[in-house]
């Protein structure tokens, strides 16, 4: 019998930075084209969050240049007028994975606080170039500049350069510049579409893009901002064991009753007492004395209890019907548009609001199925449409019920905002099929679809009236001449009285004589009727 050698297995530890560098595909950085789009998207999202969330009208400048065209290296520069970043925080914000201001319970565009760091890691992996950052908080007398890289082994920033100088013009905001391997020529259309859709959902923003073969300027069309989201507390139904442990560690001396009322959304003394009685728990038990099994049991009971209040919507910032309609009109230029903002709902303790709009006609091209514009927390979703619950709902609707016959110039716009968007993947391009969200999307689309049906019905009736008017008017002249011959009265007077009778008969207001266009249109309709 042969002796076998022992198998040696090597183990190693990866820092968060190194892990994400190796798995950059999770952030959508799958190829140079997608990386180009994703880089612009991540920085623009950060800029919008740093402005509108703090009541500042966004002004964003984007500049794209070829750094080394032969190697496919592209320079991306994005500047905003946001609240800025304090000097001491800049290195960590851009140089340490899982360090962010977005780990709070409120609506924001980013999900993991990883966007900028993933771009920096991608730049280091492809061009080995650092990121340039310039920032000044509101009211700061100084502007701070850094040139940074990330130490992927230690997950900490490497400060290559630091400068500070006088802020003469009281500028505030943040500007970043990275050099990445990107395919601008292929990404151009996708980036252009992304910015158009961003402008659609945020018509209060001013966005300027300057690229080698493209210049875009989206002027601000309104100074009205949606209400900024407040920072919230976790809802009892959204908890897990680790969250409970984390909250207990903050103040282990609290009683169970105090713990529930202090750390959870919508839990007052009466609600806490009702839950503890239902769960058969001692209200005066010190949370720091709970055993591991008791913490697990508490978590389970909190998720099972149905007496909690619904999560507050204060942590959310929907666009609102007025702004949504304004943005759609500016970008799509439709003949008709209707929008609705649904009442807040929730899934698994997370509040969410669905907004929907329908745009019809005008410059919207006819298509064999509805054109869908998807948004999550005001971010346009351009990829993975087939995996998104929004597309699924749109396809399930019987549009003939709403008098839509394809091909039709129909666009459906849906925005879902929540403290936790259930994305299909880390790429954040498609919303998962959650029953509560799906139902709200369906209700929202049907509500605006009914408004479209009313509009189409009204338009059909108007067309019927004009056809009748044109049909009768086509023979009015001949009849007037015949009656004039028989009665001896002026033909023009008889024709005028006939026109009044026709208008009264078909139920339409008099067509003003001032436009030849209306007359010509009636003639065209009459010719078609005659044929």
Model confidence pLDDT, tens digit, residues 116-129: 888 888 889 899 99
pLDDT per residue as tens digits for the range 469-481: 666 667 666 776 7
Q: Which fold has domain 321-453?
A: Ribosomal Protein S5; domain 2 (3.30.230)
Say which residue the tokens 């209040």 belong to.
309
Tokens representing 248 are: 């207990």
| Model confidence at 215: pLDDT above 80 | yes
What was the pLDDT predicted at 196? 96
Per the CB < 8 A criterion, the answer to whether 35 and 123 are in contact is: no
What does DSSP say about strands 173-181 and 73-79: parallel, antiparallel, or unpaired? antiparallel
Q: Which fold has domain 236-304?
A: Helicase, Ruva Protein; domain 3 (1.10.8)
Report d(CA 467, CA 228) in Å as an integer: 51
Sign of CA dihedral 432, 370, 323, 427: positive
Per the CB < 8 A criterion, the answer to whether 408 and 348 are in contact is: no
Tokens representing 419 are: 């403290």
The enclosing H or E element of 146 equals strand 142-151
The structure's pTM equals: 0.80
pLDDT per residue as tens digits for the range 362-377: 999 999 999 999 999 9
**Sequence ranges of the chain with CATH classification 3.30.230.10:** 321-453
**Sequence ranges of the chain with CATH classification 3.30.565.10:** 16-218
Reply yes or no: is the peptide bond before residue 407 cis, omega within 30 of 0. yes
Residue bearing the bigger pLDDT, 195 or 265: 195
What was the pLDDT predicted at 361? 93
**Sequence ranges of the chain with CATH classification 1.10.8.50:** 236-304
Q: Say yes or no: domain 16-218 is CATH 3.30.565.10.
A: yes
What was the pLDDT predicted at 17? 61
Region of poorest pLDDT, from 17-21, 163-167, 170-174: 17-21
Tokens representing 173 are: 């905001």
Q: Ranked by mean pLDDT, which of 17-21, 30-34, 270-274, 511-515 comes out on top?
A: 270-274
pLDDT per residue as tens digits for the range 372-418: 999 999 999 998 888 999 999 999 999 999 999 999 999 999 999 99
């Amino acid at each position: 019998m042969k002796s076998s050698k022992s198998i040696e297995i090597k183990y190693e530890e990866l820092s968060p930075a190194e892990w994400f560098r190796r798995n950059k595909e999770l952030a959508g950085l799958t190829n140079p084209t997608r990386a180009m789009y994703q880089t612009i998207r991540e920085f623009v999202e950060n800029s919008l969050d740093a402005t509108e969330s703090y009541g500042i009208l966004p002004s964003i400048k984007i500049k794209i240049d070829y750094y080394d065209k032969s190697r496919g290296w592209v320079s991306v520069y994005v500047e905003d007028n946001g609240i800025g970043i304090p000097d001491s925080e800049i290195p960590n914000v851009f140089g340490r994975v899982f360090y962010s201001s977005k780990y709070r319970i409120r609506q924001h565009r980013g999900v993991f606080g990883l966007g900028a760091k993933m771009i920096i890691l991608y730049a280091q992996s492809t061009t080995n170039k650092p990121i340039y950052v310039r920032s000044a908080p509101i009211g700061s007398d100084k502007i701070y500049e850094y040139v940074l890289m990330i130490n992927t082994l230690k997950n900490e920033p490497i400060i290559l350069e630091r400068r500070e100088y006088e802020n003469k013009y009281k500028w505030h905001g943040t500007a970043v510049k990275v050099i990445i391997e990107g395919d601008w020529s292929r990404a151009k259309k996708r980036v252009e579409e992304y910015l158009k859709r961003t402008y659609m959902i945020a018509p209060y923003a001013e966005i300027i893009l300057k690229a080698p073969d493209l210049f875009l300027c989206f002027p601000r069309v309104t100074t009205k901002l949606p209400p900024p989201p407040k920072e919230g507390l976790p809802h009892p139904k959204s908890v897990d064991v680790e969250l409970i442990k984390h909250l207990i560690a903050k103040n282990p001396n609290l009683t169970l009753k105090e713990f529930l009322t202090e750390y959870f959304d919508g839990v007052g003394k009466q609600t806490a007492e009702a839950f503890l009685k239902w769960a058969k728990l001692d209200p005066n038990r010190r949370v720091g004395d709970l055993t591991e099994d008791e913490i697990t049991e508490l978590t389970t009971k909190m998720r099972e209890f149905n007496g909690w209040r619904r999560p507050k919507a204060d942590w959310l910032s929907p666009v609102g019907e007025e702004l949504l309609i304004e943005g759609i009109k500016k970008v799509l230029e439709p003949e008709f548009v209707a929008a609705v903002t649904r009442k807040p709902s929730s899934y698994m303790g997370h509040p969410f609001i669905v907004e929907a709009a329908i745009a019809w006609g005008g410059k919207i091209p006819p298509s064999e199925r509805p054109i869908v514009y998807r948004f999550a927390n005001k971010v346009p979703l351009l990829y993975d449409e087939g995996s998104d619950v929004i597309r699924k709902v749109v396809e399930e609707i019987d549009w003939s019920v709403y008098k839509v016959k394809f091909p039709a110039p129909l666009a459906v716009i849906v925005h879902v905002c929540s403290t936790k968007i259930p994305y299909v993947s880390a790429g954040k391009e498609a919303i998962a099929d959650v029953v509560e969200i799906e139902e709200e999307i369906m209700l929202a689309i049907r509500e605006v679809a009914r408004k479209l049906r009313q509009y189409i019905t009204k338009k059909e009736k108007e067309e019927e009236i004009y056809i009748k008017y044109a049909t009768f008017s086509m023979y009015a002249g001949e009849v007037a001449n015949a009656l004039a011959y028989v009665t001896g009265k002026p033909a023009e007077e008889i024709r005028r009285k006939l026109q009044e009778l026709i208008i009264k008969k078909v139920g339409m207001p008099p067509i003003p004589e001032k436009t030849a266009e209306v007359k010509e249109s009636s003639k065209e309709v009459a010719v078609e009727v005659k044929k």
